[in-house]
Amino acid sequence: MSNLPADLKYTKSHEWVRTLPDSTVEIGITDHAQHELGDLVFVEVPDAGRVVKADEPCAVVESVKAASDVYAPIAGEITAGNPKLAAEPEIVNADPYGEGWLMRLKPAPGALTAAALLSAAQYQQVLDAEAH
């Protein structure tokens, strides 16, 4: 049973989305994803100002055994990439929902409601289905 905070939204490709008070969103990878990847050795995050489409690959997480793209769950403009991860990628393993966030994004108008995000319960079903 993975750690799935109920206040977050999720994607089938194992990203999480948190809406911040200023209505921008914070994006990371789930506890399940970091666990599957194993110890991260490198994280590449996008630069502020980059405009991304929904489902566009915009970050890379690399572990000792695999490298994987992270997709933008929502269309919008990147407002920040987590600057700590270049030097300390292991933060994503230690605290995937907190200090290990990858990027912040200002959703394009209407993009947040248009995005097909999952609740914690729905994402749990995705994980259950993958396990079988």
Instruction: Check binding of 90 to another protein (CB under 8 A).
Output: no
Instruction: Check binding of 67 to another protein (CB under 8 A).
Output: yes
Select from 1-9, 26-34, 40-48, 110-118 the region that touches another protein (CB under 8 A).
40-48
Using the rule CB under 8 A, which residue among 36, 55, 62, 88 binds another protein? 62
Angle at 62 between CA 69 and CA 2, to 5 degrees: 80
Instruction: Check binding of 48 to another protein (CB under 8 A).
Output: no
Nearer to another protein, 50 or 106 (CB): 50
The tokens describing 52, both together, are: 């991304």
Using the rule CB under 8 A, which residue among 47, 113, 116, 132 binds another protein? 47
Contact 4, 17 (CB under 8 A): no
Residues 6+ apart with CB under 8 A from 104: 20, 24, 25, 26, 27, 78, 79, 80
